[in-house]
Amino acid sequence: MGVKGLWNWLDSNVKERMHLRDFSGKTIAVDASSWLHKAACGCALALLLVEEKKRLLSDRESREEPEAGACNPLEEECEAYRQILRFCLGKIRLLTSFGVRPFLVFDGGQLEAKAPANESRRLTRRRHAALALAAHRAGDVANAWRHAVGAISVSLSLRNFVFRNLQGHQGVVCISAAYEADAQMARLVADGFADAVLTEDGDLLAYQARMVLSRLSDDGTVQCVDCARCFHLEMPRGERRQRAKAESTSPTREPDAPCSSVAFRCPSSLSDSSSASACVSSLRPSSASRTTSPTSSHASPYSSSSSRSSSSLSSHFSSLSSSPSRASPLPSPDSASFSSVSSPPLASASPRPSSASLGLSLDRFQLICVLAGCDYAPNIPGVGVRTAARLVRRHGADVHAVRLFVRSQRFRQHHST
Q: Hey, where are the domains in the chain?
A: 360-416
Tell me yes or no: is domain 360-416 CATH 1.10.150.20. Answer: yes
Alpha carbons 376 and 18: distance in angstroms, whole number: 32
> Do 79 and 156 form a contact (C-beta atoms < 8 A)?
no
Q: What are the angstrom distances between the C-alpha of 106 and each of 19, 33, 158, 270, 309?
A: 24, 6, 11, 18, 25
Query: What is the CB-side half-sphere exposure of residue 64 using CA atoms within 13 A?
Result: 5
> Residues 166, 254, 305, CA angle at the centre, nearest 5°?
50
Alpha carbons 263 and 283: distance in angstroms, whole number: 6
> Do 320 and 171 form a contact (C-beta atoms < 8 A)?
yes
User: What tens-digit pLDDT sequence spans the chain (417 residues)?
Assistant: 567 878 878 777 788 899 999 999 999 999 999 999 999 998 999 999 988 887 777 666 554 555 555 555 555 557 889 999 999 999 999 999 999 999 999 998 888 888 888 898 999 999 999 999 999 999 999 999 999 999 998 888 899 999 999 987 777 899 999 888 998 999 999 999 999 999 987 788 888 888 899 999 999 999 998 877 777 554 444 544 555 566 566 554 343 333 222 223 333 332 333 333 222 233 333 333 333 333 333 333 333 333 333 333 343 333 333 333 333 333 333 333 333 333 334 333 333 333 346 677 778 888 888 888 877 777 777 788 888 888 888 877 666 766 676 666 455 555 554
